[in-house]
Amino acid sequence: MKLNHKVMPTAWPDCTSIILTMKLTAIFLIAAFIQVSAKSFSQQVTIRQKNISIEKVLQLIEDQSSYHFLFKINDLSSSRNVSLELTNASVEQVLDQCFKNTPFTYKIINRTILVKKAIDLTDPGASNSEVLQKIQGVVTDEKGIPLPGVTIKVKGTTTGTVTDVNGKFLLEIPDANSTLIISFVGFTSQEVSTRGQDILTIHLREAPKDLSEVVVVGYGTEKKVNLTGAVNTVNMEDLGSRPLTSSSAALQGQVPGVYALQASGKAGGDGATINIRGVGTLNNSDPLVLIDGLPGSMDDVNPADIQSFSVLKDAASSAIYGSRAANGVIIVTTKRGSNKKVKLSYDTYWGVQDPTALPKTMNSVQYATLYNEAAINTGQQAKYSASDIAKYANGSDILYPNTNYLKVFYNKANMQNHHLNLSGGTDNLNYAFMLGYLDQDGILVGNTYNRYTFRSNLDAYFLKDNRLKLSANIFGSRGTTQTSSNEWQAKWYANNAPIWPLKNAAGEYVAVNGENNYYGEIMTGSLSTNLKSQINTIFGANYRILNGLTAELSYGYSWTQNHGKSFNPNFTTAKLGGGYNVNVANLTDQNAQDSQTQLTALLRYVKNFKKHNINLLAGYSQEEFDSNWVSAYRSGFVNNTQQEIALGDASTQTNSSSASALGLESYFGRLGYSYADKYLFEANVRRDGSSRFAKGKQWGAFPSFSAGWRLGQEDFMKGVSWVSNLKIRGSWGKLGNQNINSRYAASQVLSSGQNYSLGGTLAPGVAVTSLANANTTWETTTQTNIGIDASLFHNFTITADYFWKYTDNILLQVPIPITMGAYAPPYQNVGKVKNQGIEFMASYKKAFDNQMKLNVTMNISHITNKVTDLYGTSPIINGVKALVEGSAVNAFYGYKVSGLYQISDFTWQNNSDPGITPASRQYVLKPGVVSVDNYSALPGDLKFADLNGDGKVTMDKDRTVIGKQFPDIAYSAQVNLAWKGFDFTLFLQGVQGINGYQSLEIFEEFSGFSNTGIWWLNRWTPDHTNTNIPRLTLDDARRTIASSYYMENASYLRVKSIELGYTLPAKLLQRMKIGNFRIYGNVQNAFTFTKFKGYDPEQPVGETRAEAYPQTRIFTIGANVNF
Amino acid sequence: MKIKNIIGAVLILMMMSACKKNILDKTPLDQFDTQTFFTGPTQAKLALMGIYSAYNDNWYQYDFMSDNNYCQDSWQGSLDFSAWQQNSSSWRATNKWTIAYQTIARANTFLENIGTVTMDASLKNAMRGEARMLRGVMYADLVHFYGDVPLVLKTLPLSEAAVSRTAKQTVLDSALADFDYAASVLPNSYSSTDVGRATKGAALSFKTRALLYNKNWAEAAAAAKQVIDLGVYSLFPDYGGLFTEANENNSEVIFDIQYLENSRSQPWPSFTLSFVVWPTPGVTADIIDAYYTQSGLPISSSASGYNSQQPFISRDPRLAATFVLPGSQFGSVIYIPASDGQLTGARPRKYANIGSDPYNVGLNFILMRYADILLMRAEALIESGNTSQEVYDLIDQVRQRTSVNMPKVETVEGTGLSQAQLRAVVRHERRVEFAMEATRYSDMRRWEDVSTVHDVYGYVIAKLSNPASAATWQFEREKKTTRVFDASKGWLWPIPQVELQNNKNLTQNPGY
DSSP-derived secondary structure for A724-765 = EEEEEEEEEEEEEE---S-S-TTS-EEBS---EEETTEEE--
Q: A963-981 pLDDT, tens per residue? A: 998 899 999 999 999 998 8
pLDDT for residue A111 is more than 80: no
pLDDT band for A15, please (50, 70, 90 cuts): very low
pLDDT at A132: 59
A756: chain B residues, CB-CB within 8 Å: 49, 52-53, 196, 258, 264
Q: Are A431 and A458 in contact (CB under 8 A)?
A: yes
Question: CA–CA separation, A453 vs A347, rounded Å?
Answer: 14
Q: A117-150 pLDDT, tens per residue? A: 665 444 444 444 444 577 888 888 776 777 877 8
Cβ-Cβ contacts under 8 Å for B425 (sequence gap 6 or more): B395, B409, B413, B417
A468 CB within 8 Å of a chain B CB = yes
pLDDT for residue A627 is more than 70: yes
Q: What is the mean pLDDT of residues B236-254?
A: 94
Q: B293-352 pLDDT, tens per residue? A: 999 999 999 999 999 999 999 999 999 999 999 999 988 788 888 877 788 999 999 998
Question: CA–CA separation, B201 vs B182, rounded Å?
Answer: 10
pLDDT band for A215, please (50, 70, 90 cuts): confident
CA distance A683 to chain B (A): 26
DSSP track, A56-94: HHHHHHHHHSS-EEEE-HHHHHTPPPEEEEEEEEEHHHH
Q: What is the mean pLDDT of residues B61-79?
A: 88
Residue of A nearest to B56 (CA): A756
B79, B279, B341 member nearest A1037 (Cβ): B79
Measured in whole angstroms, how far is the alpha carbon of residue B134 from the centre of its chain? 13
Residue A237's φ and ψ, nearest 5 degrees, are: -65, -20
Instruction: Find which of A372, A516, A629, A818 to mutate to test the B interface (most B CBs within 10 Å of its CB).
Output: A818
Cβ-Cβ contacts under 8 Å for A986 (sequence gap 6 or more): A974, A975, A1055, A1057, A1058, A1059
In Å, what is the CA distance from A438 to each residue of A349, A410, A419, A537, A1116?
10, 21, 9, 22, 13
More confident residue, B359 or B290: B290
A766: chain B residues, CB-CB within 8 Å: 32, 37, 46-47, 49-50
CA distance A447 to chain B (A): 25
Cβ-Cβ contacts under 8 Å for A86 (sequence gap 6 or more): A45, A46, A47, A48, A93, A94, A97
Residue of B nearest to A752 (CA): B31
Question: CA–CA separation, A181 vs A153, rounded Å?
Answer: 5
A1052, β-bridge pairs:
A991, A1090
Cα-based torsion angle of the residue sequence B187, B192, B196, B198 in order, rounded to the nearest 10 degrees: -10
pLDDT at A254: 87
In Å, what is the CA distance from A513 to each residue of A518, A1011, A1034?
12, 13, 16
Between positions 811 and 840 of A, the ones with CB within 8 A of B are 815-823, 826
b/e sequence A865-874, b meaning 16+ C-beta within 10 Å: bbbebbbebb
Between positions 27 and 56 of B, the ones with CB within 8 A of A are 27-35, 37, 45-54
A654, A665, A818 member nearest B23 (Cβ): A665
pLDDT band for A765, please (50, 70, 90 cuts): very high
Q: Are B164 and B150 in contact (CB under 8 A)?
A: yes
Q: A469-498 pLDDT, tens per residue? A: 999 999 999 999 999 998 889 999 999 999
pLDDT band for A109, please (50, 70, 90 cuts): low
pLDDT for residue A679 is more than 90: yes
Number of residues written out for chain B: 512
If 0-12 CB within 10 Å is exposed, 13-18 middle and 19+ buried, where does residue A618 land? middle
Between positions 466 and 485 of B, the ones with CB within 8 A of A are 478-482
> Could B102 and A766 be called an inter-chain contact, meaning their C-beta atoms sit closer than 8 Å?
no
Element spanning A532, H or E: strand A527-546
> Could A755 and B48 be called an inter-chain contact, meaning their C-beta atoms sit closer than 8 Å?
no
**CA-only gyration radius of chain A, Å:** 36
Q: Is the link from the previous residue into A875 a cis peptide, with omega within 30 of 0?
A: yes
Q: What is the mean pLDDT of residues A186-198?
A: 77
CA distance A1001 to chain B (A): 14
> Could A819 and B259 be called an inter-chain contact, meaning their C-beta atoms sit closer than 8 Å?
no
How many helices (H) and strands (E) chain B has is answered by 18, 11
pLDDT at A390: 96
pLDDT band for B17, please (50, 70, 90 cuts): low
Residue B506 per-residue DSSP state = -
Residue of B nearest to A1034 (CA): B72
> Could A817 and B343 be called an inter-chain contact, meaning their C-beta atoms sit closer than 8 Å?
no
pLDDT band for B275, please (50, 70, 90 cuts): low
pLDDT band for B12, please (50, 70, 90 cuts): low
- CA geometry: angle A160, A162, A166, nearest 5 deg: 145
pLDDT for residue A873 is more than 50: yes
Sign of CA dihedral B280, B285, B290, B296: positive
pLDDT at A112: 65
In Å, what is the CA distance from B461 to each residue of A579, A754, B430, B466?
19, 44, 29, 11
B481: chain A residues, CB-CB within 8 Å: 379
Question: CA–CA separation, B354 vs B359, rounded Å?
Answer: 12
pLDDT for residue A1032 is more than 50: yes
pTM score: 0.78
pLDDT for residue B423 is more than 90: yes
pLDDT at A17: 31
Amino acid present at A1084: Q
pLDDT for residue B276 is more than 90: no
Q: Which of helix, strand or coil describes residue B68?
A: coil
Q: Is the link from the previous residue into A927 a cis peptide, with omega within 30 of 0?
A: no
pLDDT at B166: 97
Torsion-angle region of residue A890: left (phi > 0), alpha (psi -120 to 50) or beta?
left
Q: Poorest-confidence range of A103-107, A405-409, B70-74, B380-384?
A: A103-107
Q: What is the mean pLDDT of residues B406-424?
A: 95
pLDDT at A68: 65
B54, B87, B155 member nearest A954 (Cβ): B87
A954: chain B residues, CB-CB within 8 Å: 87
A386 CB within 8 Å of a chain B CB = no
The bridge status of strand A288-291 relative to strand A329-334 is parallel
Q: A551-599 pLDDT, tens per residue? A: 999 999 999 999 999 999 999 999 887 788 888 999 999 999 999 999 9
Q: What is the mean pLDDT of residues B262-282?
A: 77
Question: CA–CA separation, B202 vs B209, rounded Å?
Answer: 10
CA distance B434 to chain A (A): 23
Put the strands of the sheet holding A112-117 in their side by side order: A68-71, A112-117, A104-109
pLDDT at A20: 33
If 0-12 CB within 10 Å is exposed, 13-18 middle and 19+ buried, where does residue A920 land? exposed
Residue of A nearest to B154 (CA): A820
Q: Poorest-confidence range of A786-790, A1010-1014, B351-355?
A: B351-355
CA distance A95 to chain B (A): 45
Residue of B nearest to A768 (CA): B106
B258 CB within 8 Å of a chain A CB = yes
Cβ-Cβ contacts under 8 Å for B407 (sequence gap 6 or more): B295, B296, B399
Residue A499's φ and ψ, nearest 5 degrees, are: -80, -10
Q: A268-291 pLDDT, tens per residue? A: 888 888 888 888 788 888 899 999
pLDDT for residue A42 is more than 70: no
B97 CB within 8 Å of a chain A CB = yes
In Å, what is the CA distance from B236 to each residue of A572, A795, B265, B294?
37, 93, 24, 20
Question: CA–CA separation, A944 vs A958, rounded Å?
Answer: 9
A420, β-bridge pairs:
A346, A435
Cα-based torsion angle of the residue sequence A821, A826, A832, A834 in order, rounded to the nearest 10 degrees: 110
pLDDT for residue A75 is more than 60: no
Size of interface A-B (CB pairs under 8 A): 275
SS (H, E, C) A707-726: EEECHHHCHHHCCCCCEEEE
pLDDT at A263: 77
B85 CB within 8 Å of a chain A CB = yes
Instruction: Write down the mean pLDDT value for chain B.
Output: 91
Question: CA–CA separation, B117 vs B448, rounded Å?
Answer: 46
